[in-house]
Amino acid sequence: MQLHRQAVDFSTDIRIQSTSLIALTSLLILTPFALNSLLESRTLIGIVALGIVAIQAIHAWEIQRGNSRPWVVLFVLTPCMITFLVLCFHTQGIIAALWTYPAILFYYCTMADRKAWLANAATLACVTPQVWAILEPELASRVTATLIAVSVLSAISARATTIYQRSMEDRVISDPLTGLLNRTVLTATLNAAVEHYRRLGTPMTLLLLDLDHFKQVNDTYGHEAGDKVLVEFSNIIKESTRLSDSCFRIGGEEFLCLLHGANLESGKHIANKIRLQLQNKEIIPGHATTTSIGVASICSDDTWQSWNSRADKRLYKAKHSGRNKVA
């Protein structure tokens, strides 16, 4: 659904912050190492180290300005870091293995899971032969085991963090009872729809839906029955709309559907489909559950507020013309 493109991506925010902090850390730690290497005539390794610091700094600056380029880390920084590690093995021996651990952590802090896995695998593929070439077999096996362990634990930790972040996103933007979107992303969604219409002219229609006499359901049958009505009504809405549509619970018994690519006639058809399905479904035995729906297609001079207001006026008209109506 389009909601996920408009919702706050917490994992991306964290990677942006991580990139900035890592760039600062590299500046403070890797720069002295690079300068020392240049002074001791290890020119190539010094230049590569300074290059890594410079690329990280530029990348962090661009991200802070909103110019995210994920490919820079995978296709520029990762090869530079692998080159740096291989050069370190040739000039410093076992000390180079110590640089590999922060490199692995760097990948998982600055890249999405799959890109980090790829960078991690490429690093191990290049570093492991160097370990076995310069160390005794017993020590080489221990270093290899620790590199693999750090890689696996980093991947597991990053994956668990991603799952947790996505769970938090869902909690923030979704209604816990019905699974529909809540008001958190409503304004952003409608704004984006208006901008999309102005650029491309794609027809869009709003449905504003309100359950008729819902308070009587709670008062007569209890809140558990009321919750059941809300869930069943939400399921009808989901079944009657497409994945490209955005459906919200915006109040106690009030709902909104943004129908992408639907003109007014298509919107009325979907609204009547929802209304009839609810009318014919006996959610509470002996009680007829109905809904009133206001339908409004976007116009060229609309803001999201005027568009939503027009749907609201038509919902009011539907309710005051007898309820269980589409207007």
Q: Does the active-site annotation cover 282?
A: no
pLDDT tens-digit map of 42-81: 899 999 999 999 998 888 888 777 677 778 888 999 999 9
Q: Which residue has the higher pLDDT, 267 or 90?
A: 267
**CATH 3.30.70.270 domain span(s) along the chain:** 183-320
Instruction: Write the CATH number of the domain with boundaries 183-320.
Output: 3.30.70.270
Q: Which two tokens stand for residue 20?
A: 């900035």
- pLDDT at residue 197, as a whole number: 92
**In which region does residue 324 sit, left (phi positive, over 0), alpha (psi from -120 to 50) or beta (all else)?**
left
pLDDT tens digits along 160-177: 877 777 766 666 688 889
User: What confidence score (pLDDT) does residue 1 get?
Assistant: 41
Compute the distance between CA of residue 17 and CA of residue 60 in angstroms, rounded to an integer: 9
Q: Which residues contact 288 (CB under 8 A, 6 or more apart)?
A: 279, 282
More confident residue, 13 or 72: 72
CA distances from 44 to 21, 86, 88, 114 (A): 26, 12, 10, 31
User: What is residue 8's predicted lDDT score, i.e. its pLDDT?
Assistant: 42
Token pair 């839906």 is at which residue? 209
Tokens 């869930």 -> residue: 231
Where does residue 321 rank: exposed (0-12), middle (13-18), buried (19+ CB within 10 A)? exposed
Q: What is the band of 111 on the pLDDT scale with cuts at 50, 70, 90?
A: confident
Q: Which of 253, 254, 265, 282 is catalytic?
A: 253
Q: What is the pLDDT of residues 254-312, one digit of tens each?
A: 999 999 999 999 999 999 999 999 999 989 998 999 999 999 999 999 999 999 999 99
Average pLDDT score, the chain: 88
Interior/surface letters 242-271, b for 16+ CB within 10 angstroms, e for the rest: eeebbbbbbeebebbbbbbebeeeebbebb
